[in-house]
Structure 1
Amino acid sequence: MTTDNLTAGSRTPPPHLRVTGIHKRFGGLHALRGVDFEVARGEVMALVGDNGAGKSTLMKVLAGAYLADEGEFWLDGEQVLVGGPTDAADLGIQIVYQDLALCENLDVAANLSLGAEPVKPGWGFLPRFLRPIDEMEMEVKAQKAIDRLEVRTLKSVRALVGGLSGGQRQAIAIARAVGAESSVVMLDEPTAALGVAQTRQVLNVVRRLRDTNHAVVYISHNMRDIFEVADRICILRHGANVGTWRTAETTPDEIVVAMTRGLDEGQTHAA
């Protein structure tokens, strides 16, 4: 990938998050080979590639779950260090994995506040974990998070997560990521195994993330979903960049060919 598109007058805004020259090895396996990647605020960047292309590895490097062996991180043009998940979270980088990591025995409000529950005032003499939870404040904050993403199918933030549909659970997991004061939200196959109606709910939430000026990284194998919500598409193959395409200027067939065959030797595609 080149950064020519970042010059003045470009149709693409400057990247919010950019990584350059990312290498990751697992013993003898060279999973990422000098990968460059970027995403701007108010943009949905699809990250695609065949199985084993390096998508999940790159996503985990961005989230701090894996440490890159080589490479640089940049946030709004300033070089930053991501040495673990806490560093990524402090920089506003959040990830929603396929398993969602929701507690099905808790309600929506409790899931959205998990680990950061508001406590009632006047109990400062006790350790935080012993202070009573402010249930009203927790409910209000949860409702604001749901309203922000316009999740209209959820009737109550007091509904148990175990009774929600797959689409609603995805929306809750995304709302939790957004509630962590994030600026970058990465979604790993968010519509996998969902029906048509539930997929529509999730895609609407993804659009809303873009509208709220988040930088969205969208990993998927579903070309229909990608072409519906993504602004650009970044393709990896065998752990290296193939290129980046503007969705409006390409076709699903072109993307599939690039994923499976790559480009001619020495070529890359930048958008």
Structure 2
Amino acid sequence: MTTPTLSAAGLLKRYGRVTAIDGADFEVFPGEVLAVVGDNGAGKTSLIKALSGALIPDAGEIRVDGEPVRFRSPLDARRCGIETVHQDLALAPAQDIAANMFLGRERRRAGALGSVLRAVDRAAMRAEAQRVLDELGVQVKSIAQPVETLSGGQRQGVAVARAAAFGSKAVIMDEPTAALGVAEAGKVLELIDRIRARGLPVVLISHNMPHVFDIADRIHVHRLGKRAAVVSPRSHDMSQVVGLITGALEPGQDGALRAVSGARRTGPDR
């Protein structure tokens, strides 16, 4: 079996009497898109925060390439090659595309200008940013244009390209198509597919079931603070996944789905 690129076992996080993560397990393998789905309040956000270093679990273990790690901040996760694209994108609108691609990781000029005066090598950053955008098929008029002049899809493309440029182990994307139209959402899905083709696993958190079934290799269903099931979009249909999300269905020991008597049958919030 291939070693998971990023995995977790028995993660636990409590806030007083509220349990946000209840012994959660997780694993994503090289070169796959893993969709994480679940109802609001299921604990998806807390799980992803733990995996990206934004939350320190009370118990459990996180591993990168099979080796135990302990993230005390998002910077620790980034140092291990885990990049996250948040819903707010974390872009600086007045800065140009290249500056946003290297935000917090600016390249310094050679010699005393860089080491002493801390001068930024804008030409090198723009050249590298253009190379990454071209490789991933993100089209913009100019690498020097401010991010505030870009469309929503282009901004999403810049944020995803930044994660792909610096992520060496996994890219986590939180609802990357939520605020986009049909055409722009399609381009983001194409971008995710290109990242997968490079061998970099993508963790996709989404409420959009058609997008999940269009792009995911496996679907991690999160419910009541833990992993309820992991299914394939090739073997399970959309209604079955919604049933797992709401608790109307649960997996049996043989992998077959069983109806749960009296379970709530409403779908996830969109």
Q: Which residue identity lines up with residue 136 of structure 1 in the other structure?
A: A
Question: Sequence identity of aligned pairs in percent?
Answer: 45
Q: Which residue identity lines up with residue 215 of structure 1 in the other structure?
A: P
Q: Which residue identity lines up with residue 178 of structure 1 in the other structure?
A: A
Q: Which residue of 2 aligns with 1:3?
A: none
Q: Please tell me whether residue 252 in structure 1 is matched to residue 202 in structure 2.
A: no
Q: Please tell me whether residue 142 in structure 1 is matched to residue 129 in structure 2.
A: yes
Structure 1 CA distance for aligned equivalents of residues 23 and 136 of structure 2? 35
Structure 1 CA distance for aligned equivalents of residues 213 and 103 of structure 2? 34
Structure 1 CA distance for aligned equivalents of residues 220 and 114 of structure 2? 52
Mapping 1:180-199, distance limit 5 Å: 180-199=166-185
Q: Please tell me whether residue 27 in structure 1 is matched to residue 13 in structure 2.
A: no
1:69 corresponds, among 53, 58, 71, to 58
- Structure 1 position 120, deviation (Å): 2.0
Q: Which residue of 1 aligns with 2:263?
A: none
Residues paired across the two proteins, number: 256
Q: Which residue of 1 aligns with 2:48?
A: 59
- Structure 1 position 265, deviation (Å): 8.7
Deviation string 1:55-99 (CA, Å, 9 cap, x unpaired) is: 111000001100011111122222222222222111111111100
Q: Runs of 5+ in structure 2 lacking a partner?
A: 257-270
Structure 2 CA distance for aligned equivalents of residues 53 and 14 of structure 1? 27
Mapping 1:160-179, distance limit 5 Å: 160-179=146-165
Structure 1 CA distance for aligned equivalents of residues 236 and 130 of structure 2? 39
Change beyond 3 A, Cα 1:126–1:215 = closer
Is the 1:89–1:182 contact (alpha carbons within 8 Å) kept by the matching residues of 2? no
Deviation string 1:179-213 (CA, Å, 9 cap, x unpaired) is: 22432100000000210111011101110110111
Report the 3-state secondary structure (helix = DSSP H, G, I; strand = E; otherwise coil) of the residue aligned with 2:231.
Answer: strand
Structure 2 CA distance for aligned equivalents of residues 133 and 247 of structure 1? 46
Change beyond 3 A, Cα 1:125–1:141 = closer
The worse-fitting range, judged by mean Cα deviation, of 258-267 and 95-104 is 258-267
Q: Which residue identity lines up with residue 126 of structure 2 in the other structure?
A: E
When normalised by structure 2's length, the TM-score is 0.89
- Structure 1 position 262, deviation (Å): 5.0
Q: Which residue of 2 aligns with 1:223?
A: 209
Q: Which residue of 2 aligns with 1:131?
A: 118
Structure 1 CA distance for aligned equivalents of residues 250 and 189 of structure 2? 34
- Structure 1 position 263, deviation (Å): 3.8
Structure 2 CA distance for aligned equivalents of residues 39 and 125 of structure 1? 39
- Structure 1 position 39, deviation (Å): 0.3
Report the 3-state secondary structure (helix = DSSP H, G, I; strand = E; otherwise coil) of the residue aligned with 1:187.
Answer: strand
2:186 corresponds, among 196, 200, 223, to 200
Q: Which residue identity lines up with residue 208 of structure 1 in the other structure?
A: R
Q: Which residue identity lines up with residue 105 of structure 1 in the other structure?
A: A
Mapping 1:13-162, distance limit 5 Å: 13-123=2-112, 127=116, 130-151=117-138, 153-162=139-148
Q: Which residue identity lines up with residue 62 of structure 2 in the other structure?
A: F
Q: Which residue identity lines up with residue 25 of structure 2 in the other structure?
A: D
When normalised by structure 1's length, the TM-score is 0.89
- Structure 1 position 148, deviation (Å): 2.5
- Structure 1 position 269, deviation (Å): 5.1
Q: Which residue identity lines up with residue 99 of structure 2 in the other structure?
A: A
Structure 1 CA distance for aligned equivalents of residues 248 and 58 of structure 2? 25
Q: Which residue identity lines up with residue 80 of structure 1 in the other structure?
A: V
- Structure 1 position 174, deviation (Å): 1.0
- RMSD, aligned α-carbons: 1.9
Structure 2 CA distance for aligned equivalents of residues 265 and 212 of structure 1? 33
